[in-house]
Amino acid sequence: MEKDIKIEDIAQDVNKITDEELKSVQEKVNKINQVQMQIGGMELQKKFAIDQVTTFQAELKVVQDELEQKYGQVSINLVDGTITPLPKEDETDKKD
């Protein structure tokens, strides 16, 4: 005797992709998830680097303020440390 075929059985078969297709989709989704995790890690590294730059800028400002108190408003050559007085605002206004 042949087995009776029910509409529900046919519908179930039609509503499912093949194992090979499922594996392919799963691989792609896994690769996307891996890359998204890498991007998240890079974003954390970026934030850490930005925070470091902000900290170093604040530290530099402290040193600049100390040097300005000691030497006045000067330009400092970062290669050899020589200082050059900056023109005062009065002198800048006269040149304009």
pLDDT, one tens digit per residue, over 10-28 is: 666 678 899 999 999 999 9
Higher pLDDT among residues 14 and 58, named by residue: 58
Residue 76: count other Cβ atoms within 10 Å of its Cβ: 13
Cβ atoms within 10 Å of 67's Cβ, excluding its own: 14
Give the 3-state secondary structure of residue 78: coil
Domain boundaries, the chain: 17-95
3-state percent helix, strand, coil for the chain, nearest multiple of 5: 70, 5, 25
Spell out the residues 6+ positions from residue 25 whose beta carbon is closer than 8 angstroms to its own. 17
pLDDT class of 4 with cuts at 50, 70, 90: confident
- Tell whether the model's pLDDT for residue 47 goes beyond 70: yes
What's this model's pTM, rounded to 2 decimal places? 0.61
